[in-house]
Amino acid sequence: MSLNAYITDEAIEGSEDGPLAGRTVAVKDNISTEGVRTTCGSKMLEEYVPPYDATVVERLKAAGATIPGKTNMDEFGMGTTTETSYFGATKNPVDEDHVPGGSSGGSAAAVAAGDADLALGTDTGGSIRCPAAFCGVVGIKPTYGLVSRYGLVAYANSLEQIGPIAPTVEEAAELLDVIAGPDENDGTTREEGADTDFASAADGDVDGLTVGVPTELVEGAEDGVVEAFEDALDDLREQGATVEEVSLPSVEYAVAAYYVIAMSEASSNLARFDGVRYGNSGGYDGNWNESFAEARSEGFGDEVKRRILLGTYALSAGYHDKYYKQAQEARAWVKRDFDEAFADVDVLASPTMPILPPELGESLDDPLKMYLADANTTPVNLANLPAISVPAGESEGLPVGLQLVGPAFGEETIINAAAAVED
């Protein structure tokens, strides 16, 4: 089947031995690969070929992995469906009439279709977990600082992380073992978790585990999604876990806070793409302002333009305190709510996505609906916590994902719990 999961099919060979020897790992096209173009799904970077590897790519090659190509994505990571790519939409291998999720849709589709053994995605507000849920595979959004972001083309620096997508929890954990750890090129990385064997945590022993279910993250989900989610909770109970309701009042404001912060950071980060420093040039006719405007108008798609404009507005004089400052205060509130919840429970569980995968084209007509679909994933990024999406069943023949969230650097706990759901 032609899923359009890859933007560039160009193999990158790793070392002859290592923990990933003999396996293919597809890489999302916003992660730098030396000598192989990295487009971010955008016309702006259609011909950009990086002169260096991202740290995670160096680690893949050292571990013996073969990179079969660069995967399709929403332009600059801005989307939930992988339909905003300049290179065309990716299809969901479960049902080609539906989206694979985004923005790492190409990575998830490649793994689900068997076109790659494993894959790397990036997650700014759910961009690993959403496509993992929609395609019926496993995706891990690591704790902020566990995995180096050096070589990642930034969308929103304070929110995003690189993470694994795989057919099983154990395989996702094995890939996380390879890419995790501090990096002198990324000052946000931490020593915590560097010596952890994540793969060994995937034993599925949840006897005595306390699972909290935030009511706010279940109430708005579709009936079929809730049914599959509750079945997965019953499985955890049968294996010895305790399940109890908790409340995260702040998540009501999380989506709004997330988009103000993410779009503001995107407005700043994408300023470099002006046709002079980076990106396709519109030519110079004597007026730099017009030349910049022409380059950005032709190079960026509609969704990227929308987010840059909204982010610039939120940061502008007279509106910074009204929007950006309040969004940061809401972010702190979200973090406090999670901290309080983890004083009583080991992990938090919710549907990964409150909806089933939409049909292709459905979400493009209603951007606000697309933003609201991130309600269960964005709070995790605001709090810089780890989360995993694991298949929890189906509804109407389409996959449903279960999200498990842990405290900072609590990857072992969520991997263990996810393995129990998988079993």
Active-site option among 32, 85, 103, 264: 103
Looking up tokens 């306390």, which residue turns up?
210
Distance between CA 417 and CA 79 in Å, rounded? 29
Residue 387 neighbours by CB under 8 Å, 6+ apart: 129, 140, 141, 377, 380, 403, 404, 405, 406, 414
Q: Find the distance separating the first CA and the last CA of the chain, reported in whole Å.
A: 29
Inter-residue contact 354 to 347 (CB < 8 Å):
no
Active-site option among 32, 85, 107, 127: 127
The residue among 7, 56, 17 whose CA lies nearest residue 34 is 56
Is residue 91 annotated as part of the catalytic site, yes or no? Answer: no
User: C-alpha distances in angstroms, 99 versus 54, 96, 141, 355, 398?
Assistant: 28, 7, 20, 12, 11
Work out the number of other CB atoms within 10 angstroms of the CB of residue 208. Answer: 9
Inter-residue contact 77 to 30 (CB < 8 Å):
yes
Inter-residue contact 72 to 29 (CB < 8 Å):
yes
3-class DSSP string for 173-208 = HHHHHHHECCECCECCCCCCCCCCCCHHHCCCCCCC
The residue among 332, 341, 353 whose CA lies nearest residue 407 is 341
Is residue 247 annotated as part of the catalytic site, yes or no? Answer: no
Tokens representing 328 are 């940061």
Inter-residue contact 231 to 206 (CB < 8 Å):
no
The residue among 156, 106, 123, 186 whose CA lies nearest residue 315 is 156
Is residue 103 annotated as part of the catalytic site, yes or no? Answer: yes
Instruction: Return the active site residues.
Output: 28, 103, 127
